[in-house]
Amino acid sequence: MSTGPTPLPAAGRRRPPRDEVRRALLDAAARTFARQGIDGASLDDVAAAAGFTKGAVYSNFGSKEGLVAALVDDRVSAYLDLGLAAVDDPAATLPERARALGDRLTAASDEQHDWHLLFLQLWQRAVRTGPADDSFVRRHGELRAAVAEAVANHAEQAGTELPLPAASVATLLLALSNGLAIERMTDPAAVPDDLMGRVLALLVGGGTTGTTGGTTGGTGPDQR
Amino acid sequence: MSTGPTPLPAAGRRRPPRDEVRRALLDAAARTFARQGIDGASLDDVAAAAGFTKGAVYSNFGSKEGLVAALVDDRVSAYLDLGLAAVDDPAATLPERARALGDRLTAASDEQHDWHLLFLQLWQRAVRTGPADDSFVRRHGELRAAVAEAVANHAEQAGTELPLPAASVATLLLALSNGLAIERMTDPAAVPDDLMGRVLALLVGGGTTGTTGGTTGGTGPDQR
DNA sequence: GGTATCGGATACCGCTCGGTATCCGATCTC
DNA sequence: GAGATCGGATACCGAGCGGTATCCGATACC
């Protein structure tokens, strides 16, 4: 039930390409760090999960700190792309896009599970090391700014007036993404699948949207 | 020679009462664990922060795990009481209570700062050890249930119909508390002081603006 | 006031981890 | 095809940690 009999390159003799080793190590690090904690997981654990030994880690990343930094770079970018892609469907209305984004962010796949676990560890690390010289805080700020811009654009296109500034909506969106993930992992029953989407709809002025339909229902509350 | 000036009870010769030592150790543990991480902080660190040595910890809590468990018991209860107290003002309207609770939970004191840092560590621990036999998850569930009941009661008293089920509102409240704390610690400027209160007001049907009684008259700089 | 007891201090142990030096075999170059 | 090179494997080290056994002095008890 693990990832298979032999993770990747087997103990075999072939030499895998450089990028392949890097990828395998990064993926294994994401999984292992998420599950055991960055402090709790040893480099031996990470390397073994990828089918290598500690030497491969030091050869590719120089140190544990280097591995973590590479992970930030790799994962935060991926998360940003994922979120923006979900919002960038120009055919939907604003509340629809809000719901789509919510569903996307709430999608309870193991991938998301691990991501949030990892995210919180990276965030704690960033807070502890102080506000200076930290790539995680910077990346996170970029993500928030991008979301804010997307929200503002969509609101303008839809002709809707937001009940809150776009920047605040972006902050709330990120906060809800993390906060609801926490609640969901603690008790899945406490977080309905559509909760995120409904709240986002409220935040962008969707009112009491009970509409669980896909597209704008016949009972469209606000067409003019 | 002089063992050096020790922080709290001095190297003095008096013997402090039992509960006093326990309290000092718990407080020191909360601070130290929050700042360095539960895994990152050694028992020597914790004991030293309280002005004692490791022996005091083992005498009082038996193990590091025992110390953590005692901390859960001590802190989660305190947090629950704080939240409920903020909501239990029977003189206020529902949105007002929502705002009061939001302000209370957002209050950016160092105490709250450490609390959220500690909370997330305890939560991660609970998620990792599996859903079984964990007091933290159970306590958290009690907290959520209590909040849900308070929300439902207040809504009924106020004659307001909630746009979401009370249980969902409770979940959102906890999620926002954690999520916004995270955003705030990452970038304080991104989370206005009144954001939590305004969102809570939205969640309980408080309409679009934060008019909760004597606040802004509503002739804000709104244009179309 | 002499003794028993309790509880924190001290010394110590085994283990794990990050990091380093080194080895060795597969790939690359000519 | 023979040597150069690169990169992961292996062996090893020192530090720091949780945990334990023991000590010792201040309080409690009669």
Q: Averaging pLDDT over each range in A26-35, A122-131, A191-200, which range is the top one?
A: A26-35
B12-45: pLDDT as tens digits:
456 777 889 999 999 999 999 999 999 999 999 9
DSSP string, A157-213: HHTPPPSS-HHHHHHHHHHHHHHHHHHHHH-GGGS-TTHHHHHHHHHTT--S----S
- Binned at pLDDT 50, 70 and 90, residue B94 comes out as confident
Q: What is the pLDDT at residue A14?
A: 67
Hey, what CATH class is A15-62 in? mainly alpha
Q: Which residue is nearest to nucleotide D21 (CA to C1')?
A: B55
Min Cα distance B75 → chain A (Å) is 18
Q: CA-CA distance, B121 to A124, in Å (whole number)? A: 9
Question: Is residue B200 within 8 Å of residue B101, measured between CB atoms?
Answer: yes
Which bases of chain D are under 7 A from a protein CB atom? 7-11, 16-22, 25-27
Return the sign of the alpha-carbon dihedral for residues A148, A201, A122, B49.
positive
Is it the case that residue A207 has pLDDT exceeding 80? no
CA A132 to chain centre: 23
pLDDT at position B214: 36
A133-147, B8-22, B161-175, range with the lowest pLDDT: B8-22
User: What residue ranges of chain A are covered by domains with CATH 1.10.357.10?
Assistant: 72-203
Give the CATH superfamily of A72-203.
Tetracycline Repressor, domain 2 (1.10.357.10)
| A13: confidence class by pLDDT, cuts 50, 70, 90 | low
Nearest to A203 by CA among A102, A91, A116: A102
Q: How far is the CA of A64 from the C1' of C20 (A)?
A: 14
> Averaged over B123-130, what is the pLDDT?
89
Length of chain B: 224
User: What does the pLDDT average to over B116-127?
Assistant: 93
Closest alpha carbon to A221 in B163, B223, B206: B163
CB proximity under 8 Å: B 164-183 to A: 164, 167-168, 171-172, 174-180, 182-183
Residues in chain B with CB shorter than 8 Å from the CB of A144 are 183, 187, 190
What pLDDT is attached to residue B192?
Answer: 93
The predicted structure's pLDDT at residue A4: 37
Which residue's entry shows tokens 């996307």?
A104
Kindly list the distances between the CA atom of residue A82 and the CA atoms of A90, A115, A205, A212, B158, in Å, as whole numbers in the listed order.
Answer: 16, 12, 24, 23, 41
In which residue ranges of chain A is CATH 1.10.10.60 found?
Answer: 15-62
Handedness of CA A34, A131, B172, A83 (dihedral sign): negative
pLDDT at residue B47, as a whole number? 98
Predicted confidence (pLDDT) at residue B98 exceeds the cutoff of 80: no
Say which residue the tokens 């001590």 belong to.
B74
Closest chain B C-alpha to A122 CA, distance in angstroms: 11
Of B198, B202, B140, B196, which is closest to residue B171 (Cα–Cα)? B140
Residue A146 predicted with pLDDT over 60:
yes
* Residue B160 burial by Cβ neighbours in a 10 Å radius (0-12, 13-18, 19+): middle
d(CA B38, CA B30): 9
The tokens of B108 are what? Answer: 């950016």
* pLDDT band, residue A69 (cuts 50/70/90): very high
